[in-house]
Amino acid sequence: MRTETHNGILSMRSRSADSLVLPFVLSHTGLMIVLGFGGAGLADSGVQLSIATFAVLGSLWTVMAMDDCIVDFAAGSKDLDDEVASSNLGRNYVKKPFKMMRVVNVAVVALIVIAELMAIY
């Protein structure tokens, strides 16, 4: 793969990953504020279902998209040209535990959603 193509793809995937984090954090922060100050309105089962659906499906979408980015980063580490692969940065990039990152990604989001569902119900 040409270096320009490789760098372009990884740059695009990096921007994709970056663009997932802020909306995820803001939406779940907003959800926690609603749960904290929602009052009697949260007793309605329709409201609870709506909030729970948002928490689960929004998180599932985010996990899938972030996992896809991590998989692409792992593949990119295998496509480094010799000059980059032999540099300090390249050697560090190749050693990254991408499988562990994927597991941690799912685990952290799952724990957040479990905590939210416990607060809702």
Q: What is the pLDDT of residue 9?
A: 92
pLDDT, tens only, 17-55: 999 999 999 999 999 998 888 877 788 888 899 999 999
Q: What is the pLDDT of residue 118?
A: 93
Angle at 12 between CA 98 and CA 19, to 5 degrees: 80
- Beta-carbon contacts of 115 under 8 Å, excluding residues fewer than 6 positions away, are none
pLDDT, tens only, 76-121: 999 988 888 999 999 999 999 999 999 999 999 999 999 999 998 8
pTM of the model: 0.85
Residue whose pair of structure tokens reads 């040409």 in the numeric block: 2
Do 47 and 121 contact (CB within 8 A), yes or no? Answer: no
Q: What is the pLDDT of residue 35?
A: 87
